[in-house]
Amino acid sequence: MHRSAWKWGAAAAAAVLLFGSLKLWAAAAEPGAHWTPDYEKQDLTNILAKKELSEADYKTLLLQTGLGAFAVDTLRAGGMTEEILALQETFFAVPPIICTPNSPVSAEEHTVQGTRLAALEDGDILVTPCSHAYGWRNGHAALVVDAAQGVTLESVVLGQASCLQSVHKWETYPAVLVFRLRDAGEKERGQIAETAVERLCGVPYGLTVGVFSPKHPEDVPTTTHCAHLVWEAYRAFGYDLDSTGGRIVTPHDLAYSPLLELKQVHGVDPRTLVQAGF
């Protein structure tokens, strides 16, 4: 009797220790949720008043607002200079961050002081580091499938099939990146988004796709996850966005693909991104 009680007590103590360790491990991931510029904010009036921008101007605007050249040109062409200046304010702000569980083993960060995603198009790729599972900041990715209506296609969490989501939640992440496919027209990117909805909506979540199931099946994948869904959407059109070429594709692999152009970054240092050209 005493031996049995001792075993149960030891097991309970081990469970408490394990749970506490996992909580500490998860807490260790929190500082990676958002980066704030470690340099001074500049007056952009003179740059934005120019008719044509130089490469140096575009780099300055990226460091000051998080906007890539395409987004800058799109907003300027629409007479939205004030929008660029507003994005500069949010780029330099330090947002309050709330971490909430989205499954029994994972959590993600959000803030009420996020940023607006500018100049979104069908086929754009969204990536955030603001998702982690017990200390492993695995991140999350999504495909914009209807920019006009603010709709994304995502594989969100274990136990759920891929589905259509609102882009609004991406504007509440403390850190987010937006990419577009280089050297491809609007029509092709739109076709990629449309085909992805037809092929990849409703696919069960599978974290180990590429290990225990093919990374690239002959037909529609039987399982997928966030980065794999985006990768598979573009692979179907001949574009391999996995920058490492491994059996498993991650949001980080997508973010460093040389096939992608950076459109916008928030909460991540642009100087660490290969597409930024620093």
Predicted confidence (pLDDT) per residue in 174-187, tens digit: 999 999 999 899 99
Radius of gyration of the chain (CA): 21
Give the contacts of 256 (CB within 8 A, at least 6 positions apart): 243, 273, 274
> What is the arrangement of strands in the sheet containing 106-110, beginning at the earlier edge strand?
98-103, 106-110, 131-132
Range scoring the smallest mean pLDDT among 25-34, 76-85, 151-160: 25-34
pLDDT tens string 121-150? 999 999 999 988 766 788 999 999 999 999
pLDDT tens string 76-110? 999 999 999 999 999 999 999 999 887 777 889 99
pLDDT confidence of residue 146: 98
- Threshold 0.85, pTM exceeds: yes
- Position 19 pLDDT exceeds 50: no
- The mean pLDDT of 108-117, rounded to a whole number, is 92
Closest CA to 115 of 157, 38, 193, 178: 178
